[in-house]
Amino acid sequence: MTDEIWKRDEIESPCVKICVIHPQTRLCVGCNRSIDEISAWSRMTPETRRAVMAELPSRSAGPTTRRGGRAARRSG
């Protein structure tokens, strides 16, 4: 009898549990994947997942600068 845990040899999901789709870019603000990529993830081949993972750092789901607040107020 062994105590080994069965593991699948797959690339893990880049999901960080911040699942909000940006209205303009249509990308998740948590992981930068598209809705289609998120829904197809479990059916993707390891090669396709690697390709998506490699592309994620170059994507931006939404604005990187903060809007509003004291810095956005006009003086005068």
Tokens standing for residue 66? 């903060």
Q: How many CB atoms lie within 10 A of CB 9?
A: 5
User: What is the pTM assigned to this prediction?
Assistant: 0.68
CA atoms within a 13 Å half-sphere pointing along the CA-CB vector of 49? 16
Which residue shows structure tokens 């880049």?
14
Q: Is 52 exposed, middle or buried (0-12, 13-18, 19+ CB in 10 A)?
A: buried
Task: Identify whether the C-beta of residue 34 lies closer than 8 Å to the C-beta of residue 27.
Answer: yes
- In tens digits, what is the pLDDT along the chain, a chain of 76 residues? 555 665 556 678 999 999 999 999 999 999 999 999 999 999 999 999 999 999 999 998 876 665 666 655 555 4
